[in-house]
A and B are shown apart, each in its own frame.
Chain A
Amino acid sequence: MAQTAVKKRRKHYSAGAVIWIFVKYLSLVFFAFVALIPLYSCVVTAFKTEAEYNGTNVMTLPQSWLNFDNFIQAWQKANMGRAFINSFIILVCVLAGSIIIGTQLAYVLNRFKFPGNGLIRNLFLFASLLPGIAMQVTVYEIMMSLGFINHLYGYIIMSMGTDIISVYIFIQFMENISVSLDESAIIDGASYFQIYWKIILPLLKPAIVTAMVLKGVGVYNEYYASNLYLQNKDKLGVVATALYTFTGPLGSKYNLICAGVIISMLPALIVFLLCQKQIYSGITSGAVKG
């Protein structure tokens, strides 16, 4: 009987409100459909055997959801094992490096007044205006003269440097950490480094998680720079460039390609499911300042 009560209350909605609710859910479903269709077709195709792929429409469900042959083949053909190891090494190093550098920079810029503070902030801001791909023309030349091309360490060092958004996330967050904490620590005889290490860094944890997730996804997905600077694909392939294997002779075997695409997407999906909140807040706070 509770249901009829609900229905009765619903009747109090005006006609306009009912139409609004209808339009609202219709458009949500429509755009969710738009977002999902390309992914759906990809998942479905990845589970199809060669004969099935050739014989059925791309949208039909596969005969068996347990047909992992394509995934195994894609994994082997694209040398995904190596690629995941390389991507993992790059991720760990770049994240550790850029978090340390970024929080230190933010600490200094936020806590100390010194000549050049504003100038340095502006230098970083200006740098964020320069479109990355245009810069690669000459960054490539510099990487070459430093001997950084085709070395993981070179790529790692380059990737650490270009990070402005996370510095802004840190500065914003630090503005809410009371300076009186620093001052009382100084009275207790702490050095500035100790204040950074023992007070600021632990309090920055939420901002660090946000910055790590955002930067991590960016580094993991970066294929243009990794393609340019890690040209030895057998040894230095990363997940983003491993997919390149599927151009050329394998270019029309979409059941393999889709399997490869899904393998490469899985880590991002897992991180997304685990850290939705941090990702959303990172997007919002990064964009407001940037």
Chain B
Amino acid sequence: MTAATVKKEKKPFNLVKWAKSRKGQQAIIIFAFMVIPLLLLFVFTYLPFGEMVKFSFYKMKYIGKRTYVGWDNYAKVFQREDCFRALKLCLYYIVGALVQLIIALYLATILSFKTKGGNFFKGVMFFPFLISGIAIGFIFKFFYTRGFVFDTVLGWCGFNLENLPYWLKDRSVNNWALAGSSVWRYFGQNMVLFIGAIMSVDAEMYEAAELDGANKFQQFIHIILPSIKTIVTLNIILSITGSLSAFDPPFVITKGGNGTGTYFVIMNKIAHTDQKVGLASAMAVILLLIIFAATILQKVFFKYIFRNSEADDETYDAKKRRKKLEKERKKAMKASAQTIQQKGAR
């Protein structure tokens, strides 16, 4: 803010009039307010982005000699088994993310109807989102340790400890266990997001549907889902790109051991432990390209959906009007029915 006032005083060398005019003032304020954010954006986002693309063609460490190697690093990413296998691990997290979305959608639907203690449940399920990744790491290390929390709970359900695997060591389950911790962390956040979207739907729609005799499932399919499908698809795509860049659970809980190293965990190790900056950059660029592809697909997909929903709009309005009329009719009927029932009850 002081920067702005200083600029105004500095400016008037021989353009005093311009600086005092409205246009001049606009230009000054635009410049003054944009310099810092754009500088930060450039230094910490676009400069590193450019460097990353450049580095991916070099064999180099952070300090020391750099030799140009062309496309070698890219070829290596596909040849090295650890990188390629790591990319496949994201499938566990994609499945986890989809499960998480379904749970979140289900709970959001429940909570958007009148529920006793709704705020309490919402708060409890949301809170994990506010815990730091490292604390969650410790909590789940503890949770999955042999004979500890998870095994105890399964014991309550009748499982025998001897038949249970080592959740973090056994290669057939450890990636599911890690994906599970990520579901635990994010399902409440997804739920809050969906509740927000559902709440923006006109409440009359539900009432009308209920009076029409639609059950909760029908209400969900015909009213809730269509009105929030944009945000749901957005989240499906976000969760896929998020799964590609899964990092926290394996990094903190298992350090990538026992075949749990996801793409970014391997990349992080290559960059900061092995100091193969060029190779790590190539890995990053490849993943970025995949994410961009997913994003562009999303854009295309959305255009298609929006065109469809526009066509639907007319019928949607007509439906609403019809439901409103029907609602009024039913209201009248219900009122008369109630008086009859009350008389009968007495």
Contact = CB atoms under 8 A, between A and B. Distances in A.
B48 A31 contact: no
Contact of B29 (A37, A141, A142, A193): A193
The winner among A101, A241, A281 for most chain B CB atoms within 10 A is A101
B25 A191 contact: yes
Interface in B244-298: 245, 247, 251, 264, 267-268, 271-272, 277, 280-281, 283-284, 287-288, 291-292, 295
Interface in A216-261: 217, 220-224, 228, 239-241, 243-244, 246, 254, 257-258, 260-261
B184 A35 contact: yes
Contacts of B48: 135, 137-139, 141-142
Contact of B134 (A32, A157, A244, A281): A244
A105 B52 CA distance: 27
B196 A283 contact: yes
B193 A58 contact: no
A105 B29 CA distance: 10
Interface in A144-186: 144, 146, 157-158, 160-162, 186
Interface in B7-49: 8, 22, 25-27, 29-30, 33-34, 36-38, 40-41, 43-49
A31 B111 CA distance: 12
Interface stretch (B73-81, B102-110, B166-174): B102-110
Interface residues of A, number: 92
Interface string A16-46: 1000100010011001101111110110010
Contacts of A85: none
Interface of B, helix, strand, loop or mixed by DSSP? helix
Interface stretch (A63-71, A203-211, A262-270): A262-270
A283 B8 CA distance: 38
Nearest to A132: B245
A287 interface: yes
Interface residues of B, number: 94
Contacts of A157: 40
Contact of B184 (A34, A137, A196, A261): A34
B164 interface: no
A220 B123 CA distance: 20
Given A38-B142, A161-B44, 12 more contacts: A20-B216, A28-B117, A104-B1, A137-B48, A137-B280, A192-B25, A192-B29, A221-B132, A228-B272, A257-B138, A284-B196, A284-B197
